[in-house]
Homo-oligomer: A and B are copies of this chain.
Amino acid sequence: MAFELEITHTQGRARAGTFTTPHGTVQTPAFMAVGTLATVKGLDPLDLRAMGAQMILANAYHLHLRPSDALVRQMGGLHRFMAWDGSILTDSGGFQVFSLEGLRKIDEDGVDFRSHIDGSSRRFTPESVMRIERNLGADVIMQFDHVPPGQSDVPVARDAMERSLRWLARCRDEFARLLREDADAPTPEQALFPIVQGGIHAELRRESARAIVDMGAWRGFGVGGLSVGEAKPDMYAMLEVVDDVLPTDRPRYLMGVGYPEDLVEGVRRGVDLFDCVAPTRMGRNGAALTQDGRINLRNARHRDDPGPLDEGCDCTVCTRFSRAYVRHLFTSDEILGLRLLSLHNVHFLVALMQQARTTLADGTFDAWSTEWLARYLAGERARGAVARPVTPHPKR
Question: Which residues does A use to contact B, with CB under 8 Å?
Answer: 37-39, 41-46, 66-67, 71, 74-76, 81-83, 303-304, 306, 316, 320-322, 324-325, 327-329, 331-332, 334-336, 338-340
Give the residues in chain B near A75, CB-CB below 8 Å: 304, 306, 322, 324-325
Given A37-B334, A71-B328, 15 new contacts (CB under 8 A): A37-B329, A38-B325, A39-B336, A41-B335, A44-B339, A44-B340, A46-B316, A66-B331, A67-B328, A71-B324, A75-B304, A75-B324, A82-B325, A83-B325, A339-B339
Q: Closest 3 A-B residue pairs measured CB to CB? A: A83-B320, A67-B328, A39-B336
Determine if A71 and B303 form an interchain contact, defined as CB atoms under 8 angstroms apart. yes
Determine if A43 and B321 form an interchain contact, defined as CB atoms under 8 angstroms apart. no
Closest chain B CB from A71 CB (angstroms): 6
Determine if A81 and B325 form an interchain contact, defined as CB atoms under 8 angstroms apart. yes
Cα-based distance from A76 to B332 in the complex (angstroms): 20
Determine if A81 and B322 form an interchain contact, defined as CB atoms under 8 angstroms apart. yes
Determine if A324 and B67 form an interchain contact, defined as CB atoms under 8 angstroms apart. yes
Closest chain B CB from A279 CB (angstroms): 15
Give the residues in chain B near A339, CB-CB below 8 Å: 42, 44, 335, 339
Cα-based distance from A38 to B328 in the complex (angstroms): 9
Query: Can you offer 23 A-B residue contacts whose CB atoms are under 8 A?
Result: A37-B328, A37-B332, A41-B336, A42-B335, A42-B336, A42-B339, A44-B339, A44-B340, A66-B331, A66-B332, A67-B303, A67-B324, A67-B328, A71-B328, A74-B304, A75-B306, A75-B322, A81-B322, A81-B325, A83-B325, A335-B335, A335-B338, A339-B339
Cα-based distance from A324 to B306 in the complex (angstroms): 41
Give the residues in chain B near A42, CB-CB below 8 Å: 335-336, 339
A39-B83 contact in complex given A67-B303, A75-B324, A324-B67, C-beta closer than 8 Å: no
Give the residues in chain B near A44, CB-CB below 8 Å: 336, 339-340
Give the residues in chain B near A324, CB-CB below 8 Å: 67, 71, 75, 81
- Which residue of B has the minimal Cβ distance to A342? B335
- Which residue of B has the minimal Cβ distance to A322? B75
Determine if A334 and B304 form an interchain contact, defined as CB atoms under 8 angstroms apart. no
Cα-based distance from A38 to B71 in the complex (angstroms): 39
Q: Which of A37, A321, A332 has the most CB of B within 10 A?
A: A332
A328-B66 contact in complex given A83-B321, A338-B335, A339-B339, C-beta closer than 8 Å: yes
Cα-based distance from A39 to B338 in the complex (angstroms): 13
Closest chain B CB from A45 CB (angstroms): 8
- Which residue of B has the minimal Cβ distance to A343? B44
Cα-based distance from A328 to B338 in the complex (angstroms): 21
Give the residues in chain B near A46, CB-CB below 8 Å: 316
- Which residue of B has the minimal Cβ distance to A325? B81
Closest chain B CB from A72 CB (angstroms): 9
Give the residues in chain B near A329, CB-CB below 8 Å: 37, 39
Determine if A304 and B71 form an interchain contact, defined as CB atoms under 8 angstroms apart. yes
- Which residue of B has the minimal Cβ distance to A46? B316
- Which residue of B has the minimal Cβ distance to A40? B336
Cα-based distance from A39 to B42 in the complex (angstroms): 16
Cα-based distance from A334 to B322 in the complex (angstroms): 26
- Which residue of B has the minimal Cβ distance to A321? B83
Cα-based distance from A306 to B39 in the complex (angstroms): 17
Cα-based distance from A328 to B46 in the complex (angstroms): 19
